[in-house]
Structure 1
């Protein structure tokens, strides 16, 4: 049985139902659609399905939907999860090499039944993160994008990024990892399992979803007048080898501050979340091509 969690209120969701029904019926496969009707409903549905013993749970949507699904399933190691990426950013899908906005191809990968094991980020006090967790500039940009509806994906992120940088103030953070403790005035810190944020910004170009490590990327504050010239480096991933960036492979990271900064996990903003996380090696069974 294939269980699809989907938001039927979106045009893409309605089209996906039509395409998937036709393809699955043609193959004589058992399936069921589970429709979300409120915020975080995908998390609830995924948990209920897993608790009932369902083994194949597939999310249809974007990074936010996938984030909800992995946080809803208690027994992740007992379930096969699949992702059909139809979101505006699809950053995790890009890192994982999943077909984006191609329902038939994504379904074919799932039906073929090839399962790979990938890592995820576990926060000490609860949530999981599939792709990238961070604080700093990415929080400011995400807040700005909430007011923008005309643009989507990378253009929206760029629009917000340019506006945020005009008045951006550095974040003052302490970081503990691998027996070290360092203090920074920084533009942002990312703890990455995946590679991209913001619809294709290559924040952690050396990340590997299955290497059993997290990539800690610290982008230190530079003179304000230099920021706009360094922006193309950040967009392409070339910032990783620049003088203002520190990069480490770690098992665990703790980030703290005297200020209660917000944190983003897979593009979802959390308030009052302690940034204390570690890698769970090969903790997710994922349908792959």
Structure 2
């Protein structure tokens, strides 16, 4: 199995675009002389089971055909299995999703032919991974892009109804959610600091982009052994609306109301009675108290040489 690829296809990704494009992708993989086996996911989180079974069969080279959510579940499948050969595992992506945020950090093209050629080159980066433990339920979730609590979790909880809008789904969902979101009271510990109060959001980032192309973390390096965190406490609806462009070009992180720091672990306690949603890689994963730690250079991803 050393040179054979195992491909996981989520036919629902991109509002069904993955299913429609799969025959073309299949033919291109064949034309580029890939030796591969493929399976379709049949239900939510099925990719976790598929990749764990493939690893047990001896596969080490994988391709995700789907979006950020599919990639997130595959990463969780690998790390929750914790295989002894994890350093040999390589993971590439042919991105067909709503936001396609993770690929933007690494300049991975959305064009499937170019993405396949990139995967064929097998240029590897060892990326840091976040490990999040929801202490109230003892649930562990890994993330490869960005996690957060507060407003972004609230948006993820609401965004499904706007997914037909593509990358604009997150922006529309955010603007709609602003009118009825109530800031939770949190206690946040990191770097010997203790913050307590109402927060609009707390973001814990590894890569550059989230929410359909927004840049909400600063000085990001996915392999430096540090989280890039951003948090906002007091900010008005007017201030957010007048800084829409800054959400996408990253200048919002320079605003006086946005705090940015680097750390390796955080502890978050929810002091509000309302459900305060936690998201990881754009997936809603739960609510309540949690802690996050960084796993340095935990997984090999196939990326573009432009990102080096």
Q: Does TM, normalized by the shorter one, top 0.5?
A: yes
Change (3 A) 1:29 1:167: closer
Q: Does residue 83 of structure 1 match 2:93? A: yes
Give the match for residue 294 of structure 2.
Answer: 279
Give the match for residue 7 of structure 2.
Answer: 4
Question: Bigger CA drift: 25-34 or 188-197?
Answer: 25-34
Identify the match of residue 105 of structure 2 among 95, 107, 132. 95
Change (3 A) 1:220 1:64: same
Change (3 A) 1:66 1:30: same
Gaps in structure 1 of 5+ consecutive residues: none
CA contact (8 A) 1:7 1:36 kept: yes
Residues 137-148 of structure 1 aligned to structure 2 (within 5 Å): 137-148=151-162
Query: Which whole-Å CA distance do the structure 1 matches of 2:230 and 2:239 have between them?
Result: 19
Give the match for residue 53 of structure 2.
Answer: 48
Q: Does residue 229 of structure 1 match 2:232? A: no
Question: Bigger CA drift: 233-242 or 54-63?
Answer: 233-242
CA contact (8 A) 1:263 1:275 kept: no
Give the match for residue 279 of structure 2.
Answer: 264
Residues 166-205 of structure 1 aligned to structure 2 (within 5 Å): 166-205=179-218
Runs of 4+ residues deviating >4 angstroms: none
Shift of 1:273: 5.6
Identify the match of residue 144 of structure 2 among 89, 111, 130. 130
Shift of 1:121: 0.6
Change (3 A) 1:27 1:148: closer
Query: Which whole-Å CA distance do the structure 1 matches of 2:172 and 2:11 have between them?
Result: 29
Give the match for residue 66 of structure 1.
Answer: 71
Shift of 1:239: 1.9
Q: Deviations over 1:45-73 (max 9, x none)?
A: 01111122211011111000000000011
Shift of 1:286: 0.9
**Matched residue SS, 1:126:** strand
Give the match for residue 136 of structure 2.
Answer: none
Q: Deviations over 1:235-286 (max 9, x none)?
A: 4321212111111110111111123422000011122464211111111111
Question: Bigger CA drift: 220-229 or 159-168?
Answer: 220-229
Gaps in structure 2 of 5+ consecutive residues: 134-138
Q: Does residue 239 of structure 1 match 2:249? A: no
Change (3 A) 1:24 1:228: closer
**Matched residue SS, 1:202:** coil
Equivalent pairs, count: 287
Query: Which whole-Å CA distance do the structure 1 matches of 2:17 and 2:243 have between them?
Result: 36
Q: TM-score, normalised by structure 1?
A: 0.92
Q: Does residue 119 of structure 1 match 2:128? A: yes
Query: Which whole-Å CA distance do the structure 1 matches of 2:152 and 2:98 have between them?
Result: 17
Q: TM-score, normalised by structure 2?
A: 0.87
Shift of 1:88: 1.4
Alignment RMSD (CA, Å): 1.9
**Matched residue SS, 1:18:** helix
Give the match for residue 108 of structure 1.
Answer: 117
